[in-house]
Amino acid sequence: MIAEELALWGTAPLKVPEAVGEAARRHLVDALGTAVAATRREAAAPAVAVARGLGGPPEATVIGTPGKIGAPAAALANGTLIHALDFDDTHARGLVHATAPVLPAVLAVGEEIGAGGVEALAALVIGLETVCRLGAAVPHGFHARGLHATSACGVFAAALAASRLYRLSPEQATHALGIAGSQAGGLLEFVNTGAATKQLHPGFAAQSGILAARLAAAGATGPASVFEGTYGLYGVHADRRVEAQAVLAGLGADWELTRITIKPYPACQLSHAALDAGVGLRAMIDGRDVTDVVVEVHPDAAQFVCGPGKDRPVSAYAAKFSLPWCLAVVLLDGELTVAAFDRLDRPEVTALAARIRHRPVDFPGAAADQPGRVSALLADGTRVTAAVDRSGGGPGDPRIDELVGRKARANLGDRADTILALSVALHEQPTLTSLMTALAAQP
């Protein structure tokens, strides 16, 4: 059974290869930055308020707030904070936000039990690898059914990471995965309304993962067939049968977590290649009037970021899922920042967005890893085109460390030096206390 194999691997001694450890710390830095940035804009204020209201024993820290609350409640808040701006990382083939549902569980349980940095990093590695593999086994399979893969897969990753930190046996960890399956979900209906429910999904997953591990430790049982069973994750939520090797092949040797993309833009990953091409196109336009813009989009992406009404998003969160609106901002400003979503009513943006059309092109591979190609017809009759092979921030990007550092410093603000130093040296920390104390500071 897949759950049994994951549980055996996830609770066994783990030697983290240097490149894998570096990647995990990179995503730790990136996620903490997006969380701190969200506290400054109160983007996750309802989740933070509710989590603090849940209270509980003083086990774990909510980023940006003083004191401690129960670990599951802290994970709910921190998972929402990391994802609130839609600026956190993405695994393209699995189409999952990998770190947002996993890191909050690691931090919360790590604080609760007094884990050292090496233990926390190992749990983070286990969780990141798990969520990527579960999503990549059925590329776009969950989204095609209207489910958010981050939530559907993230709860298992959080449960396994928490099981490792709680030192559960392989049998108990298998039960934790089975229990987590009954909390797998996350509806995508927000795409049609601009609602912010998507922000909550990683928080739900992190919280439920911790509870699943605690329940298993207390003696509750879950089905070992939670993944491949008739009524398991893939049979119900992806409507397909998945062989064990689709999840387990190369486990512990071929690391999917090294293929997670760091986002340069605080918007849906499905738009990023087009936005990168848009940056190049802007230089070619050189201030001249544009009468028409055509952007090529993978059909799997088009249903989420293109279509009627997308040129006039009704909320900041809806704008993050509007390729025409985001591309218009890039063509006008040369960048797409968090602050751009504070003004949806810029007339020059809405006017240009209305002139942006999409052309479905069935590129091979995952939609989130598609090439980007954008062309513009200028008022003088000239058509110019810009293209990129894939979006920046992904595997093989030679400037990935520069991107992570620049983005983290902008997001972390005046706490950047302290948090960056503690995060990069996580494996040298005897506990998580120093890092979490720095993160608890008021924005």
pLDDT range class, residue 34, cuts 50, 70, 90: very high
HEC profile for 331-348? HHHCCCCHHHHHCCCCHH
Query: What's the mean per-residue pLDDT of the chain?
Result: 95
Higher pLDDT, 231 or 365: 231
In this prediction, residue 3 carries a pLDDT of 98
61 forms beta bridges with 68
Q: How far is CA 56 from the centre of its chain?
A: 27
Cα(367)–Cα(247) distance, rounded to whole angstroms? 20
Check pLDDT > 90 for residue 395. no
In this prediction, residue 354 carries a pLDDT of 95
- The mean per-residue pLDDT over the stretch 133-153 comes to 95
Task: Determine whether 364 is exposed, middle or buried from the number of CB atoms within 10 Å of its CB (0-12, 13-18, 19+).
Answer: exposed
In this prediction, residue 43 carries a pLDDT of 86
Cα(293)–Cα(374) distance, rounded to whole angstroms? 7
Cα(441)–Cα(443) distance, rounded to whole angstroms? 6
Residue found under tokens 């090797």: 245
Specify whether the CB–CB gap between 26 and 66 falls below 8 A: no
Largest alpha-carbon pair distance within the chain? Answer: 73
Check pLDDT > 80 for residue 118. yes
Q: What share of the chain is helix, strand, coil (3-state, %, to 5)?
A: 60, 10, 35
Cα(248)–Cα(164) distance, rounded to whole angstroms? 18
Helical residues (DSSP H) of 114-169, grouped into ranges: 117-136, 141-144, 149-165
% of the chain with per-residue pLDDT over 70:
100
In this prediction, residue 262 carries a pLDDT of 97
Specify whether the CB–CB gap between 138 and 232 falls below 8 A: no
> Given this chain, do its domains 2-264+398-440 and 269-388 carry the same CATH topology?
no
CATH superfamily membership of 2-264+398-440? 2-methylcitrate dehydratase PrpD (1.10.4100.10)
Any idea what DSSP says for residue 293? E
Tokens, residue 285: 């336009």
Check pLDDT > 60 for residue 49. yes
pLDDT range class, residue 240, cuts 50, 70, 90: confident
Tens-digit pLDDT profile for residues 80-108: 999 999 999 999 999 999 999 999 999 99
pLDDT range class, residue 55, cuts 50, 70, 90: very high
pLDDT range class, residue 239, cuts 50, 70, 90: confident
CA angle 251, 428, 67 (to 5 degrees): 100
Cα(178)–Cα(334) distance, rounded to whole angstroms? 47
In this prediction, residue 443 carries a pLDDT of 57
In this prediction, residue 226 carries a pLDDT of 98
Tens-digit pLDDT profile for residues 18-30: 999 999 999 999 9
Q: What is the CA radius of gyration of the chain?
A: 21
Q: Where are the domains of the chain?
A: 2-264+398-440, 269-388
Check pLDDT > 90 for residue 68. yes
Tens-digit pLDDT profile for residues 155-199: 999 999 999 999 999 999 999 999 999 999 999 999 888 888 999
Tens-digit pLDDT profile for residues 313-327: 999 989 999 999 999
In CATH terms, the fold of domain 269-388 is: 60s Ribosomal Protein L30; Chain: A; (3.30.1330)
Check pLDDT > 80 for residue 121. yes
